[in-house]
Amino acid sequence: MANESKKNFYERTHPEYAKKVTVWKLLRTIYDGGRQWFILHIFKFHKEGNREYADRVGRAYRFNHTREVVESLRVIAQRVQDVFPELIHNDGKCRSVNYHGLTVPLIEAVKELSVQIATLKEGVENGASN
């Protein structure tokens, strides 16, 4: 596969990626930060009492940890565990994924897919020339 083709393949992303990546990263940071993130980043309004402030922080935390968000992360952890059980940490309350451990398998998968794509392209080009 030519270097330009590899570069194009590597840089290819979802059409909305550029618009959404910052939001995705923020949501991941918020989720990973847990309750402490909200305490550090949600500020008290000038005329807001302590109780109102605490209630608002609690609502923000609960919103970020809705059933849908937690369930989607649980499904991801389950899928990773099915293939790479050694990358899952279970503390009894929840499972977490060692995403850094996925780097090498993902690189190898991309290499395999690149070979398959090259083979398919070659087959198409040979079929077109006949």
**Domain limits for position 13:** 1-65
Q: What is the DSSP code string of 111-123?
A: HHHHHHHHHHHHH
Is 74 within a domain? no
Q: Give the separation between CA 127 and CA 130, rounded to whole angstroms.
A: 5
Please say if the pLDDT value at position 70 is more than 80.
Answer: no
With a pLDDT cut of 70, the percent of the chain lying above it is 72
Q: Which residue has the tokens 């970020």?
A: 64
Is 53 within a domain? yes
Domain tally, the chain: 1
Is 24 within a domain? yes
Q: Give residues with Cβ within 8 angstroms of 2, minimum separation 6.
A: none
Is 111 within a domain? no
Q: Are 90 and 77 in contact (CB under 8 A)?
A: no
Mean pLDDT across 61-67: 60
Please say if the pLDDT value at position 64 is more than 60.
Answer: no
Output the pTM of the full model.
0.39
Q: What is the DSSP letter of 86?
A: G
Is 50 within a domain? yes
Is 15 within a domain? yes
The model's confidence at residue 14, banded by pLDDT at 50, 70 and 90, is low
Is 76 within a domain? no
